[in-house]
């Protein structure tokens, strides 16, 4: 059965086994020796847990060194029962559930064999008891029953009586001897009083085999399962049902951690935390109207009074050449509209034979937004009227649109250096009505103003009236309406770089955008932090739960579960947890108005991360280290 030839095992120069050759043909076999003599090392080689040594070890003619991981799982599932020190049972499960662990891999009816074993080992009354409530002897019987459930050719036990009192130790010894009548039993022990009857004894001393007493025991190999044992989806579901029920606490903590992480991420990504970043600009728009995005381009203007007071001797007039800019910016994508700026005085408008005097405000026209019709076509005699004037004339917006109106008034000619009012007149078709209101904040209160002399004629009209006013080389002022605060600043800087000073609230908008930028950076940082912390929190809970289940995963490996089978079991568990988490996330999403798809996607992402982490832990468990298998554990 086992044939070991010249086995030498060293641990970093220290020899644990030296040139050991032996053969085990069946029956009861004891491996004895002082502490540190190499017993456990030999056991690990026999059970194929350790495949790094010099020499050759064969089991039924197969070289143990050449077994693949898959072969090993099959070996554990069908050929070898292994009882490590410390019983290696799954504490949360009942006796029955523990014994049934290997049976999920096969399709055979296990119930009959289970009741036979419970009876044979004298533990039928304990079947539904949790194993953590059992005594040491009872636990050892459950461990033996579970291994016998596989109907193995060989049963290996590492110090099976070490933790038991003398009476129980002898009962277990007798049990193993009776099992040895049907299969090969190999026991490592310190307790030589166990050695009775016809058995083989191998004694080690400092790694050297010093005694090899062979009993005449040969066990007939009974028929082995050739079935490729693996976990099917059905058995994985059944098994997850059992383990899930017993490990509810751990699984619920994972569900909760994943749900909290997914909800935090959903809230984070839905932009609820970023909402305040554009609030400051929105507030400005509400107070002052859309005209905050206006850039007024004029050929000349006078600097503010403040500057004049500080520097009384310095002339404050600014002259600039804006010719050509109108054409340049006419079709710019960043611009919502270009509005001609026409300060006209003493205006009287005639509509349907009725004259209306337009009251002067002394302010330049202020364009907020078009509320009916459209901006005047610069090639035609068209004009946009302020809604306040239309109201004063007693018309509705719809009634006045398209009407032909006559205007008379004056325009100042500054060619001589002094303002000379020049009479003008023109007719124009009404192309649109504009809201010309704007707000100014006084003592925290916003007051709104609107002037009826905010007229917006086309370029064609402007050219006509400047000709009438006999202006030499007339230059036409106009307002650029940017389509966003970002483009407003871009256009402002571009014009300044050209040496043109546009009039507008650039500094205020720059401040607000700077604020927004800072807010975005801050919210970006806090977003990243929330993402990292949420995922880390969920991963930590899974890590802790995964580590708490390491012994359980090691038991699965020794019962013959392949890594793929353990991944499948983990997948089934996580699918269940994903559904629970999904329910929680959906409720949170509904309560916080987070898009459902976002909640589900993030829930899936978090679950996938946690699943991957748990798979990593469950498949990388080394039964040698996870279960105590000798002095070195
Ligand atoms: N993983 C390891 N790393 C380093 N040395 C080891 C390792 N495992 C065993 N050894 C060494 O190999 C020798 C044999 O150890 P082994 O555990 O096989 O002895 P043992 O007879 O089973 O002892 P005990 O009865 O105390 O369990 C010892 O000197 C031990 O220190």
Contact status, residue 48 vs residue 628, Cβ threshold 8 Å: no
Instruction: Give the pLDDT of residue 491.
Output: 93
Q: How far is CA 120 from CA 185, 451, 454, in A?
A: 17, 105, 105
Per-residue model confidence (pLDDT) at position 273: 44
Ligand 1 neighbour 562 (Cβ under 6 A): no
Bridge partners of 478, per DSSP, are 297, 340
* CA separation for the pair 57, 382 (Å, rounded): 103
User: Beta strands of 12-150 (E only): which ranges?
Assistant: 14-24, 28-33, 54-59, 62-63, 80-83
Count the neighbouring beta carbons within 10 Å of the beta carbon of residue 465: 22
Q: What is the pLDDT of residue 20?
A: 92
Residues contacting 9, CB < 8 A, separation 6+: 15, 16, 17, 38, 41, 45, 50, 52, 53, 54, 207
The candidate with the shortest Cα–Cα distance to 562, out of 105, 177, 119, 168, is 105
ipTM of the complex as predicted: 0.96
- Rounded to the nearest angstrom, the distance between the alpha carbon of 349 and the centre of ligand 1 is 110
If one counts every other C-beta atom within 10 angstroms of the C-beta of residue 49, the result is 22
Burial (CB count within 10 angstroms: exposed 0-12, middle 13-18, buried 19+), residue 276: exposed
Global pTM?
Answer: 0.62
- Contact criterion met (CB below 8 Å) for 145 and 118: yes
- Measure the CA–CA gap between 594 and 268, rounded to whole angstroms: 10
Please state, as a whole number, how many other Cβ atoms lie within 10 Å of the Cβ of residue 500: 17
Q: Is 224 in the pocket of ligand 1 (CB under 6 A)?
A: no
Ligand 1 test: best mutation among 16, 30, 85, most atoms within 8 Å of CB?
16
To test ligand 1's pocket by mutation, which of 8, 40, 42 has the most ligand atoms within 8 angstroms of CB?
A: 40
Instruction: Give the homologous superfamily in CATH for domain 2-229.
Output: P-loop containing nucleotide triphosphate hydrolases (3.40.50.300)
Strands 154-158 and 80-83: parallel
Residues of the chain within CATH 3.40.50.300 domain(s) are 2-229
Residue identifier of the C-alpha nearest atom 30 of ligand 1: 36
Which residues have a Cβ under 8 Å from the Cβ of 531 and sit 6 or more positions away? 265, 268
Provide the pLDDT for residue 628.
53
Q: Tell which residue, 281, 271, 201, 251, has the closest CA to residue 39.
A: 201
Q: What confidence score (pLDDT) does residue 424 get?
A: 94
Calculate how far, in angstroms, residue 629's C-alpha sits from the geometric centre of ligand 1: 10
85 lines ligand 1 (CB under 6 A): no
By alpha-carbon position, which residue is closest to atom 12 of ligand 1? 16
Which atom of ligand 1 is closest in space to residue 41's alpha carbon? 18
The series of mean pLDDT values per 10 residues for the chain, 633 residues long, is 90 90 88 89 89 90 87 87 84 90 78 85 86 86 88 88 79 84 88 82 91 71 60 86 86 89 80 53 78 86 50 59 87 90 88 92 85 92 94 94 94 86 94 91 82 92 92 85 89 91 84 63 71 88 90 88 91 91 82 80 89 91 65 42
Residue 68 is predicted with a pLDDT of: 86
C-alpha of residue 39 to centroid of ligand 1, in Å: 8
């Amino acid at each position: 059965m086992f044939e070991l030839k010249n086995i030498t095992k060293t641990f970093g120069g220290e020899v644990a086994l030296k040139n050991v050759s032996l053969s085990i043909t069946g029956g009861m076999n004891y491996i004895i020796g002082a502490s540190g003599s190499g017993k456990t090392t030999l056991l690990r080689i026999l059970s194929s847990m350790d495949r790094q040594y010099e020499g050759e070890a064969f089991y039924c003619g197969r070289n143990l060194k050449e077994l693949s991981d898959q072969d090993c799982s099959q070996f554990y599932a069908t050929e070898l029962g292994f009882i490590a020190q410390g019983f290696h049972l799954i504490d949360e499960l009942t006796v029955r559930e523990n014994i049934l662990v290997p049976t999920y891999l096969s399709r055979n009816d296990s119930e009959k064999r289970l009741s036979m074993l419970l009876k044979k080992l004298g533990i039928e009354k304990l079947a539904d008891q949790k194993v953590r409530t059992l005594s040491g002897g009872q636990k050892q019987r459950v461990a033996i029953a579970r291994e016998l459930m596989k109907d193995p050719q060989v049963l290996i036990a590492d110090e099976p009586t070490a933790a038991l009192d003398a009476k129980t130790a002898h009962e277990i010894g007798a049990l193993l001897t009776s099992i040895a009548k049907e299969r090969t039993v190999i026991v490592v022990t310190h307790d030589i009083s166990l050695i009775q009857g016809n058995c083989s004894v191998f004694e080690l001393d400092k790694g050297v085999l010093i005694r090899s007493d062979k009993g005449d025991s040969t066990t007939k190999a009974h028929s082995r399962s050739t079935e490729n044992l693996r976990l099917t989806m059905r058995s994985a579901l059944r098994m997850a049902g059992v383990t899930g029920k017993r490990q509810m606490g751990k699984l619920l903590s994972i569900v909760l951690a994943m749900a909290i992480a997914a909800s935090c991420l959903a809230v984070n990504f839905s932009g609820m935390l970023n909402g305040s970043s554009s609030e400051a600009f929105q507030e400005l728009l509400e107070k002052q109207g859309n005209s905050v995005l206006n850039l007024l381009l004029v050929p000349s203007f006078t600097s503010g009074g403040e500057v004049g007071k500080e520097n009384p001797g310095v002339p404050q007039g600014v002259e600039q050449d804006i010719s050509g800019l109108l054409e340049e910016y006419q079709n710019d994508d960043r611009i919502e509209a270009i509005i001609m700026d026409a300060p006209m005085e003493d205006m009287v408008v005639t509509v349907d034979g009725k004259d209306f005097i337009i009251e002067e405000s002394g302010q330049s026209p202020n364009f907020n937004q078009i509320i009916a019709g459209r901006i005047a076509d610069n090639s035609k005699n068209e004009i946009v009227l302020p809604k306040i004037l239309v109201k004063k004339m007693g018309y509705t917006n719809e009634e006045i649109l398209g009407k032909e109106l006559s205007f008379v008034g004056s325009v100042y000619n500054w060619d001589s250096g002094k303002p000379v009012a020049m009479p003008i007149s023109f007719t124009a078709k009404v192309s649109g009505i504009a809201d010309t209101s704007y707000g100014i904040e006084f003592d925290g209160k916003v007051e709104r103003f609107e002037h009826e002399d905010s007229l917006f004629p086309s370029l064609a009209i402007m050219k006509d009236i400047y000709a009438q006013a006999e202006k030499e080389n007339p230059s036409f002022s106009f307002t650029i309406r940017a389509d966003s605060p970002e483009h407003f600043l871009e256009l402002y800087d571009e014009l300044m770089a050209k040496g043109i000073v546009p009039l507008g609230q650039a500094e205020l908008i720059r401040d607000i955008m700077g604020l927004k930028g800072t807010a975005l950076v801050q919210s970006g940082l806090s977003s990243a932090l929330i993402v990292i912390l949420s995922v880390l929190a969920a991963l930590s809970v899974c890590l802790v739960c995964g580590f708490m289940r390491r012994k359980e995963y090691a038991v699965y490996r020794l019962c013959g579960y392949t890594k793929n089978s353990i991944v499948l079991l983990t997948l089934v568990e996580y699918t269940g947890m994903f559904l629970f988490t999904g329910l929680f996330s959906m409720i949170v999403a509904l309560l916080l108005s987070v898009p459902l798809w976002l909640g589900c996607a993030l829930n899936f992402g978090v679950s996938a991360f946690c699943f991957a982490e748990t798979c990593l832990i469950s498949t990388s468990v080394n039964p040698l280290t996870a279960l105590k298998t000798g002095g070195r554990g």
